[in-house]
Structure 1
Amino acid sequence: MDINTFKSLQTLSAVELQQQQSHYVSDDIPPAAIDLKASHEQKVPVINNRYFFRNCSVAIRKHNRFASYPLHTHQYFEINYMLRGHATEYVDGEKVILSEGDVLLLDIDSQHRIDALDTNDLLINLLFRDRNISLDLISQVRANKSVLYDFLINDIAVDSKQKQYILFKNLGNEEHEIQTTFDALITEYYQRHDFADTIIKSELTILIAQLARNKQLPSSTTSPTQKLAITLLDEIRQNYQHLSLDMLSNKYAYNKNYLSNLFHKVVGKTFSTALTEERLIRAREAIQNTTKPVTAICHDVGFSNKSFFYNKYTEKFGCTPKEDRELISKKSLVDTL
């Protein structure tokens, strides 16, 4: 992160100076920021989605230190980034400890409170006005990349109580991609150089994609038949080009008809349908992001019948491969500047 931005964040704000003396919240949120009707219904203060976004769609704020922040909820999606130090939050009654580099996603209407931060603790809040940005969006971005992720996120997860937060721990990986993107966002937001808004929008797109890529899959308890179905789905994900049910039957020493029936019962679609969907997903990624001939892509992902590929592609995505590529090509990079 830019050193001047970091020093600015370290500097005590007027609110922090008051809280350092009194240890009581002196936050600068006015009564107009509270949705009184929703607060009465939920029996907890509800911050509306208008106050922070009067002139913008995204707000980045430093959490004021030295006083415990009381229980509240909000009508917008929030991300907490632990830039330095540590923080203790309580989200929907669960204790969550943030360490340096950790990222906490808080869904719309989740309830949380934060213990007082100390001098060396810097917690950055990223707030989104768009209610379409949520934990569900993060899940669906990933689900759209594979039939395995779609099943794990939308089928198994539905059987368990969904948390309204996700914690990304900084595990010391070499890339630190989420943290790097956050640092770039914070710097652009506070320095406000030329084209800052355009760069911030681009960085936010990258951030959402990185969160989806790094999101852990649901870990709910599964039955032996679910585990076997997940194994088969993972085989599809990794070997979709040349895979067949006969191959899996031989590999795992199960009767082919048994595997077929089990897969259909657990996943809700036939093995052939799932395999076709995976190939279509991979084909679309290549069509939208490369200039490789459609016929070559068709064969690369495992389709031997071109007419079948075109029909299934149009049925799934609502347009032909050629139309899909043309739509993407019309979205010039210059249009975002």
Structure 2
Amino acid sequence: MFMDSRVLSRLKQHELIEVKQLKTGKHVEDLPKEAIYKKNESTNIKVSNNYFFRNRDIYISKHDRFAAYPKHSHQFLEMNYMLNGTCDQIVDGKNVHLNKGDLLLMDVGCTHSIGKLSENDILINLLFRDQSISINFLDDMRRSNSVLYDFLLNRVSGESNTVRYIIFRNNIDNDIRYTMEDIITEYYSKREFSNSIIKEYLSILLTKLVRHYHVSTDKRSPQQQLVIKILKDISEEFRDISLEKLAKKYDYNKNYLSNFIKREVGIPFTTLVMNQRLIQAHNMITSTNLPISEIIEDIGMKNKNSFYKKYKAYYLMMTGDERK
């Protein structure tokens, strides 16, 4: 299995910014103003916002070569994949060296700068939002007790991570490399249903990372195990689930369970249910041609105005923009 030669050839070509950086050796700003959420005045750190996800769940780009990239952070999760060559970065103040086939996963808010890349150094940036990680996917990995699982679970449950980044070294059988390069090929080929296919590839990639880079951690507490069960219930029964049903299922007082969910997850039960409905709606909007009215009904909502308002607040765009 090899990387698609046409995609690889395209990635090796000099982009306009690369031509400029090759001549001067100095960084050329590659982000439009609307992609910058803010600048930290004291440290001058750029913070990239959700600009990249206006029409997709996952954004992929080649990192520009021939000049060092300044310190910055993101409001989303980021993977750096070393497709070819090597690179040096400073991630959360620590030196990180990546070789061909290595993958760096960084949490929201993790700062990093990237050293100058040479002609044969191809670094791929893969960006994805928390919403791209499903509870079902995480629950499937529950028994792996891995650092990666904890890392991703914390992102979904709203907790802050003590581990801000993880480095995955190239494995002997190239299993992870094949999946990552399938994602890159699918993205740049721009074929029909590519967004949905890439989302599935991402789940496969994350699962493979857990399988190949298993690191044991302390077992989760009974409270955390209950949270996972409840989140899975919500993800499967979001259309008609209620706090009363959950309280009866797990033999808890309704008010106690409501407070428990809010305390452990950081989000009220009603918000969790609404978020899952919006995620389901988003999946249907981007992968089918069903009328929006049918989708609204399918996810268990009746008030269309409320749906549109909540959808825009969650995805930062209207439903019509998703299908342009």
TM-score range relative to shorter protein: 0.5 to 0.7
Q: Cα gap change, 1:118/1:90 in structure 2, threshold over 3 Å: closer, same or farther?
A: same
| 1:217 Cα deviation after fit | 1.9
Match of 1:10 in 2: 12
| 1:45 Cα deviation after fit | 1.4
The aligned amino acid for 1:191 is S
Q: Does the Cα contact within 8 Å between 1:153 and 1:217 map onto a contact in 2?
A: no
Q: Does the Cα contact within 8 Å between 2:78 and 2:105 map onto a contact in 1?
A: yes
| 1:210 Cα deviation after fit | 1.8
Match of 2:186 in 1: 188
For residue 7 of structure 2, give the secondary structure of its aligned residue in structure 1.
Answer: helix
| Distance (whole Å) between structure 2 residues aligned to residue 59 and residue 126 of structure 1 | 6
| 1:216 Cα deviation after fit | 3.7
| Distance (whole Å) between structure 1 residues aligned to residue 44 and residue 216 of structure 2 | 31
Is 2:130 the counterpart of 1:131? yes
Match of 2:320 in 1: none
| 1:212 Cα deviation after fit | 3.0
Provide, for residues 63-85 of structure 1, a one-character-per-residue CA deviation record: whole Å limited to 9, x for no partner: 00000000011111110000000
| Distance (whole Å) between structure 1 residues aligned to residue 202 and residue 169 of structure 2 | 19
Provide, for residues 84-109 of structure 1, a one-character-per-residue CA deviation record: whole Å limited to 9, x for no partner: 00000110001110000000001100
| Distance (whole Å) between structure 2 residues aligned to residue 182 and residue 192 of structure 1 | 16
Alignment of 1:1-337 (within 5 A): 1-36=3-38, 39-40=40-41, 43-50=44-51, 52-128=52-128, 130-132=129-131, 141=139, 144-145=142-143, 162-171=162-171, 173-174=172-173, 176-217=174-215, 315=250
Q: Does the Cα contact within 8 Å between 1:143 and 1:153 map onto a contact in 2?
A: no
Provide, for residues 8-41 of structure 1, a one-character-per-residue CA deviation record: whole Å limited to 9, x for no partner: 00011111011001011113212222122x6347
Calculate the aligned-residue CA RMSD, in Å. Answer: 4.1
Match of 2:293 in 1: none
| Distance (whole Å) between structure 2 residues aligned to residue 137 and residue 77 of structure 1 | 16
Following TM superposition, where does structure 1 have runs of at least 4 consecutive aligned residues deviating by more than 4 angstroms? 136-143
Q: Percent identity?
A: 34
Q: Does the Cα contact within 8 Å between 1:142 and 1:149 map onto a contact in 2?
A: no
Q: Does the Cα contact within 8 Å between 1:138 and 1:211 map onto a contact in 2?
A: no
Q: Cα gap change, 1:99/1:201 in structure 2, threshold over 3 Å: closer, same or farther?
A: same
Q: Cα gap change, 1:49/1:268 in structure 2, threshold over 3 Å: closer, same or farther?
A: closer
Q: Does the Cα contact within 8 Å between 1:23 and 1:67 map onto a contact in 2?
A: yes
Q: Does the Cα contact within 8 Å between 2:170 and 2:176 map onto a contact in 1?
A: no
Provide, for residues 160-213 of structure 1, a one-character-per-residue CA deviation record: whole Å limited to 9, x for no partner: x82210000014x12x22211111111111111233233222212212222233
Provide, for residues 103-145 of structure 1, a one-character-per-residue CA deviation record: whole Å limited to 9, x for no partner: 00011000000000000000000011x23458x9899557622
Q: Which runs of 5+ in 2 are unaligned?
A: 155-160, 237-248, 252-279, 289-324
For residue 117 of structure 2, give the secondary structure of its aligned residue in structure 1.
Answer: coil
| Distance (whole Å) between structure 2 residues aligned to residue 137 and residue 214 of structure 1 | 21
Q: Does the Cα contact within 8 Å between 1:81 and 1:124 map onto a contact in 2?
A: yes
Q: Does the Cα contact within 8 Å between 1:27 and 1:64 map onto a contact in 2?
A: no
The structure showing larger relative contact order (alpha-carbon pairs under 8 Å, at least 6 residues apart) is 2
Q: Cα gap change, 1:179/1:14 in structure 2, threshold over 3 Å: closer, same or farther?
A: same
How many aligned residue pairs are there? 230
| Distance (whole Å) between structure 1 residues aligned to residue 74 and residue 136 of structure 2 | 19
Q: Cα gap change, 1:205/1:8 in structure 2, threshold over 3 Å: closer, same or farther?
A: same
Q: Does the Cα contact within 8 Å between 1:181 and 1:203 map onto a contact in 2?
A: yes
For residue 56 of structure 1, give the secondary structure of its aligned residue in structure 2.
Answer: coil
Deviates more, 1:94-103 or 1:41-50: 41-50
| 1:214 Cα deviation after fit | 3.1
Match of 1:222 in 2: none
| Distance (whole Å) between structure 2 residues aligned to residue 142 and residue 153 of structure 1 | 13
Structure 1 length normalisation: TM-score?
0.58
Q: Cα gap change, 1:122/1:213 in structure 2, threshold over 3 Å: closer, same or farther?
A: same
